[in-house]
Structure 1
């Protein structure tokens, strides 16, 4: 579904990622794990069209999207939940969710999808008229995920969905990610919580200072001595 070949990204003279290659097959959850500064978020920004790679190719469903605009990429079926959630303050929960469907013209289907989001996140229905910026961190994460789902993505990019959340909410968010995947959405997950990310992943890639240094199934990486020592406290 998604293939990234020899990707490099520079911020001025700083090389953020270099010669990164990985793939995401339809129906999978693929996790990219690594420490802060490993280049995880940069990869997602490149896939989303928010930054331009200095080298390499990004192919989605057989079509190169390396130079596509963010709008074109959303239209193709890729949507991102950004790190830090980026809720629109001063707008209600409902208005935030509706922003996720801004490219869609099928109003009746948009309404159906809105109800599906409310079914998945009942607390958002209760608070649909509340300023989204006044919600808790966990609730804001639900808004950000619901907003992304309103574009009907076939591939959902999640950037640090557990950041800043209490442990009980982290479990809930990861349960929701699995549920979204089971209903047919492919997921590329960027996450510092390596244990949770690998537990739900079909496959994983480990990034260090801009390079992929290890890959395997989620189970294989969880059992790896190197991963245990570096990320799991083993």
Structure 2
């Protein structure tokens, strides 16, 4: 089943043509990676899918519902949830308060507590530090908090924007392992990453963006072996 279908998507920032007739799809149960250099248009695509930026052309369909004119809050309610680049946690609130904000779609206390329990099981460090201010967490722990907050909304499709940015190598490996676990437990993932090797190593399929255009697509394994990808992104 195709969960997300993007067809001929174009996005402008004033005179700047940031995304140029991009088409791709994400099937239920997949991890799909969008890779490319800084400025390739990856984050713009996620912001457009989330309703934060309006497309100038093209269509986006999620679970058979068009997204182009759907308000951002309704997109979240439909199950399309983004973990933004840079994490954007609420640093002055506690870990627990951050997670509770992610559960605003579930006002039923018992239901939100049940989701919280699963998040704490996946991220034990958050349970240990639930009463600490989020600002006191390390970068890797803050990324876990941002992902945990998104999971509190029970996403059908999780959009991850540069989850490894600024993290130490040990945390990068842990974050990608967690992404695989989240996917194996039933959440479809669209992953935006500059770390092409890590992103493609866990992806079912991938797409390569250059200056707003899609230039390559294939399975994660095939793209890892591609001489073009190796030369441009893997130092080959």
Bin for the TM-score computed over the shorter chain: over 0.9
- Partners of 1:149 and 1:8 lie apart in 2 by 29
The alpha carbon displacement at 1:105 in A equals 2.6
SS at match of 2:12: strand
The alpha carbon displacement at 1:103 in A equals 2.0
Match of residue 186 from structure 2: 184
SS at match of 1:181: helix
Match of residue 25 from structure 1: 27
SS at match of 1:3: strand
- Partners of 1:36 and 1:125 lie apart in 2 by 34
Q: Please, what TM-score do these two structures have when normalized by structure 2?
A: 0.98
- Partners of 2:141 and 2:227 lie apart in 1 by 36
Match of residue 92 from structure 1: 94
* CA-atom RMSD in angstroms: 0.6
Instruction: Map 1:20-169; keep pairs closer than 5 Å.
Output: 20-169=22-171
Q: Deviations over 1:5-57 (max 9, x none)?
A: 11011111111111000000000000000000000000000000011001111
SS at match of 1:102: coil
The number of equivalent residue pairs is: 234
The alpha carbon displacement at 1:174 in A equals 0.2
- Partners of 2:158 and 2:120 lie apart in 1 by 18
- Partners of 2:177 and 2:106 lie apart in 1 by 28
Deviation above 3 Å: which 4+ runs of structure 1?
none
- Partners of 2:176 and 2:189 lie apart in 1 by 12
- Partners of 2:157 and 2:55 lie apart in 1 by 20
Q: Deviations over 1:45-94 (max 9, x none)?
A: 00000110011111011111111111100110110000000010210000
Provide structure 1 residue ranges, at least 5 long, that are not aligned to the other structure. Answer: none
The alpha carbon displacement at 1:182 in A equals 0.4
Match of residue 196 from structure 1: 198
Provide structure 2 residue ranges, at least 5 long, that are not aligned to the other structure. Answer: none
Match of residue 212 from structure 1: 214
- Partners of 2:25 and 2:135 lie apart in 1 by 35
Match of residue 4 from structure 2: 2
- Partners of 1:106 and 1:172 lie apart in 2 by 32
